[in-house]
Every structure is written in structure tokens, then in C-alpha cells.
Amino acid sequence: MDKSGRQVELMDPKLSRKRFLDTLMGAGGLGVISVIAYPLLKFVNPPARSSESSEWVDAGPAEEIQTGGFKTIMHASGIPLVLVRRSEDEFIALEKKCPHLGCMVELEQGEMFCPCHGAKFTLDGTRITGPSPRDLKRYKVEVRPDGHVFVGKEVG
Ligand code: FES
């Protein structure tokens, strides 16, 4: 009892230390979980890379690619693209990153094919089938007077 007559409950110092250690362990556990979870979340949902670069990339001489042929190039933003020559004077540049989960699509038998879950796209990037929610991204292409093909920013 204290001076006013109220019953005072004495706290066991061991119990207090145990509660303190339990709280500390809980906080440490949350820290460990967040250290593991954050990179996993970033892997599953990566931050969008900017494809808004205004820089043009020299993809080399147009004559290097025969009609129906293609080459892989790196966009100024660091995104890999497939540059396809559809006709004598028509080129198209498509992002290789599949809109579904980001695997790299490949050009096979006149279509863009994603090996991860089977999405297919036409050579202009239009989705044909598979789990992709949208078409492949296209990039501006121009053939300059010196005969080189340049790839610019994303179309649309
Ligand atoms: S990542 Fe391309 S279909 Fe799933």
C-alpha cells in the first residue's frame, strides 16, 4: 500500500526485462522482414524505367538489314529494342520487354514471341495472344540522308 492507502502492485524486474526483450525482438523481427520484403517487392513490381529519352540512337546503315530482317539495338534509355525492316523503306522498332512480366520477346517465324508465358505479337507490336495486357511499345524510326537508321522516343 502507498501513503494514500491504494494497493500498489510491485512489478517484477525480471518480468519487465522480459517484456522489454520481447518488444525488442518483435521490432528486430519486423526489421528483418522489411529487409527481405522490400527487395522482393521491387523485383516483382520494378519501378518504371523512363523511355521518354529524346535522344536518337544511330542503329547503323539501313543497308545492313535486309527486307524481312532485324537487329537488336539498345535505346538511349537502356531498353533493348528490335529493329525490323518490313519493306525497302519501312522500319519498325519494338521494345523487347514483354508488357506482361518483362521477359525479353524474340522474333520467331514472323512474330514476336515471349518465351515465358507464350504471348505473341505481330511485327508491328500488336498483341495476338497470351497474357500480355497490351501491345509492345513502338519507337520512332527515321532513315537519315546519310543512309543510317535512327531510333527515337516512344510512339504514342
Ligand atoms: S512475361 Fe511475356 S507472356 Fe509473361
Q: How far does the centroid of ligand 1 lie from the alpha carbon of residue 102, in Å?
A: 6
Ligand 1 atom, smallest distance to 132 CA: 3
- The answer to whether the CB of 134 is under 6 A from ligand 1 is no
Top pLDDT among 32 and 12 is at 32
- The answer to whether the CB of 136 is under 6 A from ligand 1 is no
Q: d(Cα 54, Cα 66) in Å, to the nearest integer?
A: 27
Residue 57 one-letter amino acid = V
Count of CB atoms within 10 A of residue 119's CB?
23
Q: So what's the architecture of 57-154 in CATH?
A: 3-layer Sandwich (2.102)
The ranges assigned to domains in the chain are: 1-47, 57-154
Distance of CA 16 to the CA centre of its chain: 49
Note the pLDDT tens digit of each residue in 20-69.
778 778 777 777 777 777 667 666 665 555 444 568 999 999 999 999 89
Note the pLDDT tens digit of each residue in 111-121.
999 999 999 99
Task: Give the helix ranges, DSSP H, for the chain.
Answer: 13-44
- pLDDT for res 51: 45
- The answer to whether the CB of 60 is under 6 A from ligand 1 is no
Q: How far does the centroid of ligand 1 lie from the alpha carbon of residue 121, in Å?
A: 11
